[in-house]
Structure 1
Amino acid sequence: MSDNPASDTSNNVQAQSGWQSVIEEMAAIADEYRDRGWTALELHPGDAVLVDSEKRTGLDVLLPGPEYENLESLTENCSFVDVDVFRAADSSMFYLLIVEKDPESETVVFVPAYYDPGSGQPKLDTIRSDSEFRLFCRRLSDDYIEFVHGDVQPFLPEALQSDE
């Protein structure tokens, strides 16, 4: 991703370029885990949105049915107790590659996501004040698998992080 995109490049093209970089990075890191003998599941969300409602507050990613079913099978027998978060930003989007890990079973799930921090500011404020980041991996039927993290800092753009 370029720090200084061409001025005639639309935000949509920039977002697609940034997203493609996240997907490529995910594939490379997943291969590294597989080379070490881990089970690695790469997810490919169709959409990612910040949510703040009575039902859910956090980041909601919509998965294709087969990927959701694979995730559902993995989470039945794994305890994802560790997470790595890779971040990138361009002029309008904040990209995440969330790596949920179960070291005991050597299983890892890769969840790429994105959001617009400008339009999602009130939702980000709620997440920050709750001191908890929730990742909802769902399918169209609204069934979801939830990952909860007590440290919100890795999931926020630096401008929103506190000095604590």
Structure 2
Amino acid sequence: MTAIADDYRDRGWTALELHPGDSVLVDSERRTGLDVVLPGPEYEDLESLTEDTTFADVDVFRAEEGGMIYLLIVEQAPTDETAVLVPAYYDTGSGQTALETVRSAGELRLFCRRLNDDYVEFVHDDVAPFLPEAFADAE
């Protein structure tokens, strides 16, 4: 993550690296998608950075190992030359229901939140990069 963030900074972009304490797929009435919990100061930095910024692009780096999916999500606002880097992970076994919901909806929501349930949300219409390879191929 640091190397990718440094690459953005070398090009003159603002790059915010986040360090979630927990990451999980959720499927509930309140939230469906990928939920990451941030420390208070990082959440405040993210909230401030996203207030007047439109994030239009995303790069997703994915690795799979032993039923776990590891992601580095790079939310990009090219007009503002701003990137937010979010590492995340989830267990495919316990996340089956959420995976099915995400795939059938054709939308993945990334919730970057703090413990009091305030959150910043990123919405993605291309779900394949976020899903396990076998799941994405089944579309």
TM interval, shorter chain, is: over 0.9
Give the equivalent residue in structure 1 for 2:49: 74
Q: Which amino acid aligns with 2:62?
A: R
CA RMSD of aligned residues (A): 0.9
- Using the alignment, how far apart are the partners of 2:81 and 2:93 within structure 1? 37
Aligned counterpart for 1:152 among listed residues 109, 114, 127: 127
In the alignment of these two chains, the number of paired residues is 139
Match of 1:52 in 2: 27
* Greater length-normalized contact order (CA 8 Å, ≥ 6 residues apart): 2
- Helix, strand or coil at the partner of 2:7: helix
- Aligned residue type for 2:96: Q
How does 1:71-110 map onto structure 2 within 5 Å? 71-110=46-85
Q: Tell me the residue number matched to 1:29.
A: 4
> What secondary structure, in the 3-state scheme, does the structure 2 residue paired with 1:77 have?
coil
Q: Matched residues in 2 for 1:42 and 1:122: separation?
A: 29
One-letter amino acid of the counterpart of residue 119, structure 1: S
| Structure 1 gaps, min length 5 | 1-25
Distance 1:56 1:92 in 2: 23
Cα deviation digits, residues 129-160 of structure 1 (max 9, x gap): 11100000000110000000011101001110
* 1:32-70: CA deviation from partner (whole Å, max 9, x where unpaired): 110111000000000001100011000000000000000
Uncovered stretches (5+) of structure 2, i.e. residues with no partner: none
Q: CA deviation at 1:83?
A: 0.3
CA distance in 1, matches of 2:64, 2:129: 13
Percent identity of equivalent pairs: 73
What code does the residue aligned with 1:52 have?
Answer: D
Cross-structure match for 2:90: 115
Q: Which moved more, 1:61-70 or 1:87-96?
A: 87-96
Match of 1:9 in 2: none
Q: Which residue of 2 aligns with 1:140?
A: 115
Cα distance, 1:163 vs structure 2? 5.2
Q: For residue 15 of structure 1, what is the aligned residue in structure 2? A: none
Q: Which structure has the larger Rg?
A: 1
**Separation in 2, partners of 1:68, 1:50:** 19
CA distance in 2, matches of 1:90, 1:63: 24
Q: When the two structures are superposed, what TM-score results if normalisation uses the length of structure 1?
A: 0.83
**Could you say what secondary structure the match of 2:80 adopts?**
coil
